[in-house]
Amino acid sequence: MVVLNKIYTKTGDKGKTRLATGEEVPKTNLRLAAYGTIDECNSFIGVARLHIGDDGLLDEILMRIQNDLFDLGADLATPDNGKDLGYEPLRIIASQVIRLENEIDFMNADIAPLNSFILPAGSPLAAHLHVARTVARRAEREIAVLMESGEKISDAAFQYVNRLSDLLFVAARRANDNGKGDVKWVPAGNR
C-alpha cells in the first residue's frame, strides 16, 4: 500500500530522485524518462475520458488501462537487477497484454478496414485519444532506448506499451463513429 503523508520532500531539488529500489539517479535517467512518459500518457487518457459521452464500455476499458499504467510505471521504476528487494516487485504480466489484444479485436470488429491513413482528428474524444496514442509511442521508443542501454525490461512490459498505442488508435476510430467520422489523409492534397 502506498502512503503519501507529505507531498514535497525536497530530495529532487538538486536534480536527483530515487527509483522504487531506493537507488538515487539523476532526473535525466533513461528509466525515469520512460516511466515519466507513461505517466504523461495516463494523464492524456484521463483528459480523453472527459469526452467519453455515453460509451460506458470504452470508459471502462480506459479506466482499467489507467490503472495498468500505474502498474507499468511501478514496473519501470523498479529495475530488475537480480537483487533480493525483500518484496515482490509489481510487474506487468502477459494476461494484461492479452486483455488489450482482446479489447482491440472486440472494438475493431465493428470498424471498416482502412483504405487510407487517417489524420489525428474527428471528435474531441478521438483527437485526445490520438494524442495519448502518440505519447504511448514515445514511451515505447524511450523504453526501447532503455533496453538498448543494457537495462532489463520484461517482454510483457514492452509488449503492453506496444499494444496500448494500437488500442488507443482503434479506440479513436471507435470514437469517430466506428471510423465513419475519421478524417482521411489526402496525399499531396494541398499542392
- pLDDT class of 60 with cuts at 50, 70, 90: very high
What DSSP assignment string belongs to the chain? ----S-S--STTTTSEEE-TTS-EEETT-HHHHHHHHHHHHHHHHHHHHTT-TT-HHHHHHHHHHHHHHHHHHHHHTS---S---SS------HHHHHHHHHHHHHHHTTSPPPSS-EES-SSHHHHHHHHHHHHHHHHHHHHHHHHHTT----HHHHHHHHHHHHHHHHHHHHHTTTTTT-EE--TTTT-
pLDDT in tens, 111-166: 999 999 999 999 999 999 999 999 999 999 999 999 999 999 999 999 999 999 99
Q: What is the mean pLDDT of residues 87-112?
A: 96
pLDDT at 6 > cutoff 70: no
Mean per-residue pLDDT over the chain, rounded: 93
pLDDT in the model for residue 57:
97
pLDDT in the model for residue 10:
73
